[in-house]
Amino acid sequence: MRVRIGQGVFVTPPLVLVLLLLLGPVVLLSLYSLNVRTNIPGVPTGVSAANWKDFLTGHGNPFRARFFYSMKITLLVSATATAAAYPLAYYLAFIARRFRYVLLLLLITPFFTSYLLRIVAWADVMLNDNGVVNHVFWALHLRPQGDPVSWLLYSNFSIFLVLFYSWVPFVSLPIFAVLENMDHRLIEAATDLGANRFITFWRVTFPLSLPGVIAAFVFVLIPTTGEFIAPLYVGGPGNQLFGNEIQAFFGDSPNWNYGAVLAIALIGVVLVLMLVFGRFLDTDLRQPGVEVGP
């Protein structure tokens, strides 16, 4: 007599483990955010939304202002990195031909090095007062000798530049994957129908590549919302992002209760963004077709 074991027996253990690993920390953070637990000795515990009220409605709350500042930087980096990655992916998919995979390997080479080391190199080698960039300006007589550009480091510009550099190679990959697997017969059909290169790109290539574009945008947007390493090294004290505020509450000045409020708020925003852009991505993947006629 055979004993038939349902598929649920094999699926349930890893599913439970994943749920514990994903939801367990969120539940624990929620308890800290509501003051059910605390890391501060002598502070009484009990369900309280005082920290939430202060963050959401407190007049002139600096952390709420920092959150909106961080989202502006995040959206700017995400949009510009995706826009810059598109022509790179297009070149690899349609122009590089047999050298595409060699160039693709060169493109992802920076990922073989630690992310932290790359950021430190930008701060200490490229952007500081005696860095490579200032020496180039001096050599070309664009700046007086010994007079560095003050906003190259510890500024919004330096945060944007380092994050932009870090993400462009990565976000070109989903766009390249969509472009390479595109049915090129559609492009040939558009040409046969009299469409020039611009019309063919705008009405055939670009609409079909939108799932890759949206995926690339989301790939930058989601992790950048909680970024704290790059601002820590190249942003300076006055240009920290929201992730740095969270890190400070759990590290430098431990107040896990308020830090948990900031972390849960950030998680909520990320979930909303994933739902919104995931809906757009799902719509693009199921688009009925592309018009190539005049």
Q: pLDDT digits over 9-22, tens only?
A: 777 888 888 888 88
On whether residue 43 sits in a domain, the answer given is no
Higher pLDDT, 170 or 81: 81
- The confidence score (pLDDT) of residue 294 equals 43
Where residue 29 falls among pLDDT bands split at 50, 70, 90?
A: very high
The residues, ordered by sequence, that sit 6+ positions from 141 with a Cβ below 8 Å of its Cβ are none
On whether residue 20 sits in a domain, the answer given is no
Structural domain total, the chain: 1
On whether residue 44 sits in a domain, the answer given is no
> Residue 5: pLDDT above 60?
no
On whether residue 81 sits in a domain, the answer given is yes
Q: Phi and psi (nearest 5°) for 145?
A: -55, 130
| Token pair belonging to 281 | 């991505």
211 membership: H or E segment, kind and range: helix 206-224
Q: What is d(CA 17, CA 280) in angstroms, rounded to the nearest whole number?
A: 30
| Tens digits of residue pLDDT in 48-65 | 899 999 999 888 888 998
On whether residue 164 sits in a domain, the answer given is yes
On whether residue 263 sits in a domain, the answer given is yes
| Tens digits of residue pLDDT in 113-169 | 888 999 999 999 999 999 999 999 999 988 888 888 988 899 889 999 999 999 998
On whether residue 294 sits in a domain, the answer given is no
Domain coverage including residue 117: 50-285
On whether residue 22 sits in a domain, the answer given is no
- The confidence score (pLDDT) of residue 7 equals 62
Q: Is 74 exposed, middle or buried (0-12, 13-18, 19+ CB in 10 A)?
A: buried
Higher pLDDT, 1 or 86: 86
| Region 278-284 average pLDDT | 61
Domain CATH number, residue 98: 1.10.3720.10
**Which pTM was predicted?**
0.83
- The confidence score (pLDDT) of residue 170 equals 87
